[in-house]
Amino acid sequence: MTQSTKSFVEVPRTARYYKLNTVSQKTENIWIVFHGYGQLSEYFIKHFEELDAEENFIIAPEGLSRFYVDGLTGRVGASWMTKEDREEEIKDQSNYINAVLNDAGVDFSDVSYRFIVLGFSQGTATAVRWFANNGIRPSQLVLWAGSFPHDVNAIEQSDIFKNLPVHFVYGDKDQFLKDVNIEEKTAEFENMGMKLSVWPFEGKHVMDRPTLAKIVGSFDH
């Protein structure tokens, strides 16, 4: 009996992303923000509209896989990856995100700005894998209602993660964290050598604008 064989081929494709505000001499923070499962960057970026427009420039990449959230029609969402061919998906994600930042004119070696990486839900793992695999150390890392990816070794990459300011944010009624021991989860960050701040808020598995504003206010000016 003959057996099928698996092969891979790289293909060019058109992928989108969204930007909010512009870079100027008054810009202090450049954000790269990663949406959660089933969301679109077009709507996710709206959570940042109340931040000072002169001080904050936001870039929102979008998961490369889009699908109908409910059935075969209606609302469309995006996903960053699945377990299927995950190594190839991670590589494609990284190449895409790097292309987005290049298109947006972002240079992480520019010390004029504070570079902030934020991931929400599924986007937390995508965010961390991306900058860790590219040897990039952000100024601030915000992990909102999501986990640190187990395939990234923060201790081995101490040049990136040691004393990295990490903000762990969660809603006290988050339906996806009800079985999670928050104390154990936050202890993981400290054990990996990161500088942790914890931001609980009243709410479910959502972004919370007042809490986001408090986090921004905590940055050193």
Least confident of 9-13, 27-31, 51-55, 90-94: 9-13
Q: What is the pLDDT of residue 221?
A: 52
Q: What does the block give as tokens for 150?
A: 């187990």
Q: What is the pLDDT of residue 180?
A: 83
213: pLDDT confidence band, cut at 50, 70 and 90? very high
Residue for token pair 């004029």: 112
- For 6-14, what is the mean pLDDT? 88
Residue for token pair 């509209």: 49
For 163-192, the pLDDT digits (tens) are: 999 999 999 999 988 888 888 888 888 889
71: pLDDT confidence band, cut at 50, 70 and 90? confident
Q: What is the pLDDT of residue 111?
A: 83
Q: Is 132 left (phi over 0), alpha (psi -120 to 50) or beta?
A: alpha
For 84-104, the pLDDT digits (tens) are: 888 999 999 999 999 999 999
Q: What is the pLDDT of residue 26?
A: 93
- For 29-44, what is the mean pLDDT? 96
Chain length of the chain: 221
Mean pLDDT of the chain: 93
- For 9-18, what is the mean pLDDT? 90
Q: Is domain 17-162 given the CATH code 1.10.3720.10 in the classification?
A: no
- For 38-51, what is the mean pLDDT? 96
- For 199-203, what is the mean pLDDT? 95
In this structure, the number of other CB atoms found within 10 A of the CB of residue 93 comes to: 20
Question: SS3 for 108?
Answer: coil
pTM: 0.94
Contact 69, 38 (CB under 8 A): yes
User: Which residues, 6 or more positions from 71, have their beta carbon under 8 angstroms from its beta carbon?
Assistant: none
215: pLDDT confidence band, cut at 50, 70 and 90? very high
Q: Please tell me the distance from the alpha carbon of residue 180 to that of residue 105, in angstroms, as a whole number.
A: 39
Q: Name the residue ranges covered by the structural domains of the chain.
A: 17-162
